[in-house]
Amino acid sequence: MRIKLITRTILLMAALLIASSGCVLVNAPSSGPVTLRISFDKNHIDLTLLLDAYMRENPRIKIEVVDGNPNSAAVVGAMTENNLDIIYGNRNALRYMMEGKLLPLEDLLQDPVWAEARADFVPGSFEGLQIEGRQWGIPGNLDMFVVYINRDTMDLLGLETPPLNWTLDDFLILANNLNQPDAAPGERFWGLCTDAGNFDPMLFVYLMGGRLIDDINKPTTATFDDPKTIAAVQWYADAINIYKIAPSPGVMGALFRGGLNEASASGFCGTWLNAYSVRGGSKAHPWEFQWTMLPLPAGEQQIRFGDVEGYYVASESEHPEEALKLILYLTSRWESSGNMLPARRSVISSPGYVEAVGQQVAASGLNSLDSLVIIPILGGAAMGELADTFIFTVGQVVGGKDAGEALYDAQQRLIGLFD
């Protein structure tokens, strides 16, 4: 899953926690012809038509495009040669901050135009692009975990779509009602398809009031032995092994070599958790059925985990103020979101975006914002070890080991992890 890969990359970016200081010299805005070079991955989000429109509206601006994500050879080469003004992409772009190639933006954002615009951005999105108080990017788009429902299966069984403000109990009732694992071939459905090696168990831990670390922003210790964490992991295993509302890892592996993505695309899943951006499936596994989306349900905690992509200005840009004007324009247009969620509330609720993605999808996105937690950039190798240990331990519990025993043992192995 794309968001899993992004999130794991973020957790391993320890070296980014470096304080930057000093004054930033910004060139005066030009009144003559200006050329801006911007990079983005056209296979992810294609900004070409918007850039063409911007150039028509601003004839003195010429925009050149470098096609690629922040880690691509094309972008690395352009940044090495100081031949790029703007990078669009995920937080891997923050690697260039370490090399002194990104412009800190907090001073430029004091402009009254930006002061007004910032109120429209989703809370926490700017903070997701900060490192030790310095602003290195402008939020472009968001991603988050949501619940998908196979609407064909729901209609077949005469079930109604739960409301947007549904609860974890509502989710469990729906998954149970959609569960027919022993039906005849072609009529077999699982109420919940899940991957124990993915982020699903973590999401259920937090929804059920548990936690994996003491402070998501400044962790000092693992909390695998928290009673609510233990209860949530045991519930997750029981959902597979006892209540059988989800297929076992063995069944998933035997039937679906492509894992959760193939299982959900094949129509065998009543519900499943995945990223907002994967709706409709992929080229390899398109969803050839009717589906709907809901935000993560409210449990003991109402929390939705997400990620942010941004626009970054190169420190060697000759036209940083013009670059910010272009960025402000792009963030105001729903067409710049691709399959992701725009970072501005007014754009999410705009008629164009609602028409493009559908009312239910847009409403699910909006409904998630007040409890959205942008996964922070955290302590590198320590967080990587913690994530690997948790995934391994969940696998043990799904395999039959008692959750309390397994998580206690894991907690002991993690003592001193953040020292």
Distances from the Cα of 150 to the Cα of 76, 154, 264, 364, 375, angstroms: 41, 6, 8, 16, 28
The whole-angstrom separation of Cα 331 and Cα 391 is 36
Q: Which residues, in sequence order, are CB contacts of 263 under 8 Å at separation 6+?
A: 193, 247, 252, 255, 256, 269, 272
Residue 205 and residue 57 share a domain: no
The whole-angstrom separation of Cα 247 and Cα 239 is 9
Of 410, 380, 357, 317, which is closest to residue 141 (Cα–Cα)? 357
Residue 228 and residue 154 share a domain: yes
Is 405 part of any domain? yes
10-residue averages of pLDDT along the chain (419 residues): 46 35 44 93 97 98 98 96 97 93 96 93 95 94 97 94 96 95 72 92 97 92 98 97 90 77 88 96 88 96 93 97 98 98 98 98 94 79 92 97 98 95
Residue 187 and residue 325 share a domain: no
Q: Which amino acid is at 196?
A: A
Residue 57 and residue 138 share a domain: yes
Q: Which amino acid is at 173?
A: I
Is 69 part of any domain? yes
Burial (0-12, 13-18, 19+ Cβ within 10 Å), 27 = exposed
Per-residue model confidence (pLDDT) at position 170: 97
Per-residue model confidence (pLDDT) at position 5: 46
Is 350 part of any domain? yes
| Residue 27 CA from chain centroid, whole number | 35
Per-residue model confidence (pLDDT) at position 32: 84
The whole-angstrom separation of Cα 153 and Cα 156 is 5
Residue 208 and residue 111 share a domain: no
Helix (H) or strand (E) holding 162: none
Of 418, 8, 22, which is closest to residue 222 (Cα–Cα)? 418
Number of domains, the chain: 2
Beta carbons of 229 and 210 less than 8 angstroms apart = yes
DSSP 8-class letter at 277: G
Per-residue model confidence (pLDDT) at position 291: 97
Residue 149 and residue 139 share a domain: no
User: Residue 314, Cβ neighbours under 10 Å: how many?
Assistant: 23
Is 373 part of any domain? no
Residue 151 and residue 118 share a domain: no
Full domain range(s) for residue 75:
23-143+307-362
Residue 156 and residue 297 share a domain: yes
Residue 260 and residue 166 share a domain: yes
Is 205 part of any domain? yes
Distances from the Cα of 62 to the Cα of 26, 28, 45, 378, angstroms: 20, 18, 20, 38
Complete DSSP assignment for 121-152: BPTTTTGGGEETTEE--EEEEEEEEEEEEEHH
| H-state helical runs in 14-131 | 48-57, 73-80, 95-98, 112-118
Per-residue model confidence (pLDDT) at position 266: 86
Per-residue model confidence (pLDDT) at position 46: 97
* Domain CATH code at residue 409: 3.40.190.10
Per-residue model confidence (pLDDT) at position 7: 44
- SS3 letters across 204-268: HHHHCCCCCECCCCCCCCECCCCHHHHHHHHHHHHHHHCCCCCCCHHHHHHHCCCHHHHHHHCCC
Two tokens at 417? 């992890």
Is 119 part of any domain? yes
Q: Which long-range contacts (CB under 8 A, 24 or more apart) does 113-122 make?
A: 113/328, 114/324, 114/328, 117/328, 117/331, 117/344, 120/344, 120/345, 120/346, 121/331, 121/343, 121/344, 121/345, 122/343, 122/344, 122/345, 122/369, 122/372
Is 17 part of any domain? no
Residue 325 and residue 298 share a domain: no
Residue 222 and residue 85 share a domain: no
The whole-angstrom separation of Cα 306 and Cα 125 is 10
The whole-angstrom separation of Cα 267 and Cα 139 is 35
The whole-angstrom separation of Cα 359 and Cα 118 is 25
Per-residue model confidence (pLDDT) at position 282: 83
Of 246, 248, 294, 241, which is closest to residue 270 (Cα–Cα)? 246
The whole-angstrom separation of Cα 36 and Cα 9 is 29
Residue 206 and residue 73 share a domain: no
Is 402 part of any domain? yes
